[in-house]
Amino acid sequence: MSTTSRVAIEAFDGDNTDGLQAAIDTLSASGGGRLELLAGIHRCQGLRLRSGVDLHLAAGAILRPVPDYAAYAHTTVSVIAEKSDRGMIVARDARRISLTGEGRIEAGCESFITGDDETVGTFIPAEFRPRVVVLEGCDEVEISSVTISRSPMWTLHFVNCTDVAVRSVTIENDRRLPNTDGIVLDACRGAVIEDCNISTADDGICLKTSIGPEGVAIGRCENILVRRCFVQSLSCALKIGTETHGDVTNVLFEDCSVSSSNRALGIFSRDGGRISNVRFSRISVECRETPDGFWGSGEALTVNVVDRIAERPAGAVENLVVEDVTGRMEGAITIIAAAPAGISNVSLARIAIDQQPGQLGTGRTYDLRPTNADLAPKADGGGRANAWTRGSDGRVIGLQDYPGGMPAVYVADVAGISMNKVRITRPGPLPQGWNAIDVVMETTASDGSGAWQN
């Protein structure tokens, strides 16, 4: 982003919210420019970016926002996520804004942890946590080169933005704190995410279409390119959904690497929007089992359509290509239409994956969460809203046993799927609880019963 003027601010001991915000406002009012934070620690509460301003963190600069939800009462946002209506750095209806530089944002997640639930392998998060960056309705946005660590909630959230570029960003979040998504594109049009390095407990790079305050989708998500990114995730590394109130179309993930992750590639339709024209190409994956409190367990690819609210049926998934995927998984590849909208026209090509047993055994079930049960867990059942709920049998609702054991590929009620050079290497002899059939295709017969095709 070109700048017309530059203001440099030295680090000093104390909260500098007023000074930083005044500099941002003045630069924007004068036509734009760069606010450069020099090496050292800069403490602040919520900041609001303005049109034409580049917030630049020089090498050695550390922006350390105050670790208190109340500190962001003046930087609220319209789209609520996990009860949060606040961000540490926000902007609304701004144009030509950027966050750049070799410096760091240290977001202080440890102040938003209230306990440790070892039974599901996660920390217990505080009820209210701010996101780090939330940009709403902005155009010509750039975030490049910065490092963001220890986010208490979603890290970068772009809402209804256009012409977005995220380049060479590093995100280092706590791997046991839920909802710490790396990059979220929410109803954005025209975005490039490239050369980023993300490690987090929740989704790595996620595309979605949320619902706005008026109860309707805030928009479409389309024309998205994600390339050359390295992601570690204990939810889904490269993901579309689960909030899908508006359509998602024309999406390409290519030349990415997924390691030490729960799931690699995922599409989750829940809320009425149609998902179409998606391609995953040249992706390496390493997927591991995790405790059942995290979604999924070791799937290289998982696609599902589920009606979680009866009054708002899920939308269809159409025209999906998954090609040139290599690596290792401890779960299976699953493509499941559990709602009438269905899944159609799927192509799997040139896939070479080693399927190996994990240490936990959780990969032997497939995962249809989030379900209706997760919207409001009952106090006596145990659970966390929008994540997991245990039934009377003690099992997490939404985890289903594979019929006949875990195969390499499980496809249910998909209309039109082709497989070309799909090779899943499995151990021999097969572990207990594994299906002897490599590829299981399950359809629904006219009488409503299940039928296998293989």
- Residue 209 near residue 221 (C-beta atoms within 8 A): yes
State percent of the chain over pLDDT 90. 82
Instruction: Look at residue 391 in the predicted model and tell me its pLDDT.
Output: 77
- Residue 181 near residue 137 (C-beta atoms within 8 A): no
- Name the pairing type of β-strands 221-227 and 189-194: parallel
Instruction: Look at residue 376 in the predicted model and tell me its pLDDT.
Output: 65
Tell me the mean pLDDT in the region 3-10: 87
Instruction: Look at residue 210 in the predicted model and tell me its pLDDT.
Output: 94
Instruction: Look at residue 89 in the predicted model and tell me its pLDDT.
Output: 98
CA distance 129 to 131: 7
CA distance 445 to 115: 48
Instruction: Look at residue 134 in the predicted model and tell me its pLDDT.
Output: 98
Tell me the mean pLDDT in the region 403-420: 96
Instruction: Look at residue 216 in the predicted model and tell me its pLDDT.
Output: 87
Q: What domains are there in the chain, each with its CATH number?
A: 6-453 (2.160.20.10)
The pair phi, psi for residue 109, each rounded to 5°, is -60, -30
The Cα-based distances of 380 to 114, 362, 373, 377, 391 in angstroms read 20, 24, 13, 9, 10
- Name the pairing type of β-strands 197-200 and 170-172: parallel
Instruction: Look at residue 379 in the predicted model and tell me its pLDDT.
Output: 60
CA distance 300 to 436: 19
- Residue 48 near residue 69 (C-beta atoms within 8 A): no
- Residue 408 near residue 402 (C-beta atoms within 8 A): no
Question: Shortest CA distance to 180 belongs to which of 107, 275, 72?
Answer: 107
Query: How big is the chain, counted in residues?
Result: 454
Instruction: Look at residue 61 in the predicted model and tell me its pLDDT.
Output: 98
CA distance 346 to 338: 16
Instruction: Look at residue 378 in the predicted model and tell me its pLDDT.
Output: 64
Question: If DSSP states are collapsed to H, E and C, what string results for the chain?
Answer: CCCCCEEEECCCCCECHHHHHHHHHHHHHCCCEEEEECCEEEEECCEECCCCEEEEECCCEEEEECCCHHHHCCCEEEEEECCEEEEEEEEECCEEEEEECCCEEECCHHHHEEEEECCCCEEEECCCCCEEEEEECCEEEEEECCEEECCCCCCEEEECCEEEEEECCEEECCCCCCCCCCEEEECCEEEEEECCEEEECCCCEEEEECECCCCCECCCEEEEEEECCEEEECCEEEEEEEEECCCEEEEEEEEEEEEEECEEEEEEECCCCCEEEEEEEEEEEEECCCCCCCCCCCCCEEEEECCCCCCCCCCCEEEEEEEEEEEEECCCEEEEECCCCCEEEEEEEEEEEEECCCCCCHHHEEECCCCHHHCCCCCCCCEECCCEEECCCCCECCEEECCCCECCEEEECEEEEEEEEEEEECCCCCCCCECCCCEEEEEECCCCCEEEEC
Select the more confidently predicted residue: 388 or 93: 93
Residue 388 has pLDDT above 80, yes or no: no
Q: Which bin fits 298, alpha (ψ -120 to 50), beta or left (φ > 0)?
A: left
Residues near 70 by Cβ (< 8 Å), separated by ≥ 6?
none
CA distance 54 to 27: 9
- Name the pairing type of β-strands 40-44 and 343-355: unpaired
Tell me the mean pLDDT in the region 1-24: 89
Residue 454 has pLDDT above 50, yes or no: no
pLDDT bucket at 139, cuts 50 / 70 / 90:
very high
Select the more confidently predicted residue: 370 or 73: 73
Residue 453 has pLDDT above 60, yes or no: no
Residue 326 has pLDDT above 60, yes or no: yes
User: Which residues partner with 453 through β-bridges?
Assistant: 441
Q: In this predicted structure, which of 9-13, 167-171, 385-389, 407-411 has the lowest mean pLDDT?
A: 385-389
Instruction: Look at residue 2 in the predicted model and tell me its pLDDT.
Output: 47
Residue 445 has pLDDT above 70, yes or no: no
Instruction: Look at residue 448 in the predicted model and tell me its pLDDT.
Output: 46
Tell me the mean pLDDT in the region 196-211: 96
- Residue 243 near residue 208 (C-beta atoms within 8 A): yes
Q: Is 9 exposed, middle or buried (0-12, 13-18, 19+ CB in 10 A)?
A: middle
pLDDT bucket at 294, cuts 50 / 70 / 90:
confident
Peptide bond into 429 cis (omega under 30): yes
CA distance 242 to 206: 9
- Name the pairing type of β-strands 439-444 and 450-453: antiparallel
Q: What is the pLDDT of the chain when averaged over all its residues?
A: 93
| Number of neighbours of residue 1 by Cβ within 10 angstroms | 17
